[in-house]
């Protein structure tokens, strides 16, 4: 299957396994994207988005989780969640395993294999050398003691050179269990909730192309795990959400909660193309591609066994506390006038950039090899929303991202752009004649290049999602007016209904939704067992807190200081 080949992940966007969500047209955003909408690919398949994503496994900084606990989410501090990350892991990256503190941070023998991507692009060392000049050292494991630094090669959910999605990791080993029954081609429309008792007792779903919905009953609980967009939409269709909004769509309001009101997403800016006098990719002649295909089919190695894009990750800290604020990705594009698509051009096509902008970038890439640094904000202050278009469950929801609506987000993105400019001024980059190229945006006429006004205008054209949407069913104590679920993941005011996916994440986190959603699932399983199995006690433990405070465990990377 195409999705099992790591290198082919980009081709899955807008395929038949993609929900193909898009944002609405928003003022001051997406002016350089087709139809002025931002594409949000999400997996419509067993395993969800883990079947079509980049397989990157990033937990985030430990202080992110301590912030959850400080907000009143008892049981969700770093030392509470670490065992659940470790429980599912089967770490096979030798570089990580050989670290002295590996046993503290990672697990072995779990269902989720974490392996190193075996192929590195040829420009990797160039990036690491430039980062070192700015006092950002190589970080072998960004899921370890600290995140700041630059890492390559990375590891992800890959086993034997093939993608390992969550269905293959968790469902396949237990598919013969008598208490597991999976209905494929089923589209859940709403949760069945008794209005008088406010108890969930089942779900309504459409099977294949049937026009009349079917129902399935639950004797104890209903658990939603449809993702940030899906779970939010199902709750709203079920009458759980803002009362006025739900009733406006002709749905009986059962519980007035702030469903869909805390949308958080990492926003990235792919508007910094850089030409270099160095080869950034291996040869891609038809014979080379044939050889690479043969290598993958016979040995599961080579370029097809890696993700190509996102091969290097750089976590940048703006403040002295070393909490990462900005993530840098690096794409590459080999020069050539042959009518083909390299990584950079493929990326721009996938995000749906307007043709005139695409042709400018393609022209830049004709005679020069190219690197594309992409700064991403990890701690956004902006909050968007997800609402219903109508009571028809087949209608796509209305997504308002509200990217960069908070002044602090705009400032952080501008700091990220400044860091890239400093990065290009290093000796390592000067040796390869790294030159920042400026895209001419139709809406930015008469604005001089490389000014703050230019970058603000550029952001309004092509800044968009980094594909880590969270928060629409916020977890919090019942005293929190924006909370949808309590720290036990139970929907507030509704009996027998929980949400267990990335939509419950209450505040920005510097990790990826893949790793965090798996942890949430593991922890939710124990919560359910604690409620229904008398005397159940989780069997795993965590190391004592003082171990993390020892000086010899601290990073030597220094935070980025804005010029």
Q: Which residues are annotated as a binding site for FAD?
A: 45, 49, 188
H-helix segments, 134-277: 166, 227-237, 243-248
C-beta atoms surrounding 226 within 10 Å: 17
Q: How far apart are CA 478 and CA 456, in angstroms?
A: 39
Strand 369-377 versus strand 274-276 pairing type: antiparallel
**Half-sphere exposure for 152 (CA within 13 Å, toward CB):** 26
DSSP 64: H
Q: How far apart are CA 231 and CA 188, in angstroms?
A: 10
Q: How far apart are CA 123 and CA 289, in angstroms?
A: 19
Measure CA 516 to chain center. Answer: 9
DSSP 495: B
- Which positions make up the binding site? 45, 49, 188
Q: Which residues pair with 465 in a beta bridge?
A: 267
Residue 40 tokens read as 């949000």
- Return the residue matching tokens 């429980």: 87
Distances (CA, A) of 314 to 150, 323, 481, 508, 514: 4, 13, 36, 18, 19
Q: How far apart are CA 161 and CA 109, in angstroms?
A: 18
Question: Who contacts 54 (Cβ-Cβ below 8 Å, separation ≥6)?
Answer: 9, 156, 307, 309, 310
Residue 488 tokens read as 């036990």
Residue 124 tokens read as 């990797």
Strand 435-436 versus strand 369-377 pairing type: unpaired
Strand 267-268 versus strand 369-377 pairing type: antiparallel
Residue 486 tokens read as 């309590």
DSSP 168: I
């Amino acid at each position: 299957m195409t999705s099992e080949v790591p290198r082919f992940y980009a081709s899955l966007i807008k395929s038949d396994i993609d929900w193909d969500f898009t944002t609405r047209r928003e003022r001051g955003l997406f002016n350089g994207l087709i139809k002025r909408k931002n594409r949000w690919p999400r997996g419509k398949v067993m395993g969800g988005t883990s079947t079509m994503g980049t397989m990157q496994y990033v937990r985030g900084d430990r202080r992110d989780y301590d912030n959850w606990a400080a907000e009143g989410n008892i049981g969700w501090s770093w030392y509470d969640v670490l065992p659940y990350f470790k429980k599912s892991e089967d770490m096979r990256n030798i570089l990580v395993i050989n670290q002295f503190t590996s046993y503290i941070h990672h697990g072995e023998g779990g269902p989720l294999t974490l392996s190193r991507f075996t192929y590195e692009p040829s420009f990797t060392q160039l990036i690491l050398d430039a980062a070192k000049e700015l006092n950002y050292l190589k970080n072998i494991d960004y899921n370890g003691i600290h995140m700041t630094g630059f890492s390559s090669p990375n590891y992800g959910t890959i086993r034997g050179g093939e993608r390992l999605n969550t269905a293959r990791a968790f469902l396949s080993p237990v598919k013969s269990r008598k208490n597991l029954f999976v209905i494929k081609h089923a589209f859940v429309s709403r949760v069945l909730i008794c209005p008088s008792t406010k108890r969930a007792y089942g779900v309504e779903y459409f099977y294949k192309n049937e026009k009349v919905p079917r129902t399935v009953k639950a004797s104890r609980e209903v658990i939603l795990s449809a993702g940030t967009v899906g779970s939010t939409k199902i709750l709203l269709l079920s009458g759980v959400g803002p009362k006025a909004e739900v009733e406006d769509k002709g749905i009986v309001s059962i519980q007035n909660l702030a469903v869909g009101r805390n949308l958080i997403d990492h926003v990235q800016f792919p508007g910094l193309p850089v030409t270099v006098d160095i080869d950034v990719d291996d040869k891609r002649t038809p014979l080379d591609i044939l050889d690479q295909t043969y290598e993958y089919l016979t040995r599961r190695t080579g370029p097809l066994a890696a993700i190509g894009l996102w091969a290097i990750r750089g976590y940048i800290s703006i403040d002295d506390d070393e909490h990462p604020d900005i993530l840098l990705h690096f794409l590459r594009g080999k020069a050539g006038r042959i009518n083909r698509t390299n990584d950079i051009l493929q990326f721009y096509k996938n995000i749906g950039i307007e043709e005139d902008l695409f042709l400018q970038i393609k022209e830049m890439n004709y005679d020069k090899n190219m690197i594309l640094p992409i700064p991403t904000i990890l701690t956004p202050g902006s909050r968007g929303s997800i609402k219903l278009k109508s009571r028809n469950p087949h209608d796509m929801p209305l997504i308002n991202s509200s990217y960069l609506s908070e002044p602090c987000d705009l400032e952080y993105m501008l700091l990220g752009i400044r860091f890239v400019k400093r990065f290009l001024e290093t000796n390592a980059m000067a040796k390869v004649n790294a030159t920042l190229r400026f895209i001419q945006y139709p809406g930015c006429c008469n604005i001089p290049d490389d000014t703050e006004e230019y970058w603000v205008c550029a952001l309004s054209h092509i800044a968009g999602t980094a594909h880590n949407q969270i928060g629409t069913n916020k977890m919090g104590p019942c005293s929190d007016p924006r909370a949808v679920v309590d720290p036990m993941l139970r929907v507030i005011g509704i009996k027998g209904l929980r949400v267990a996916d990335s939509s419950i994440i209450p505040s920005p986190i510097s990790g990826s939704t893949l790793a965090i959603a798996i942890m949430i699932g593991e922890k939710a399983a124990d919560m359910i067992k604690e409620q229904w199995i008398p005397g159940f006690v989780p069997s795993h433990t965590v190391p004592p807190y003082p171990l993390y405070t020892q000086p010899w465990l601290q990073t030597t990377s220094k935070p980025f200081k804005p010029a």
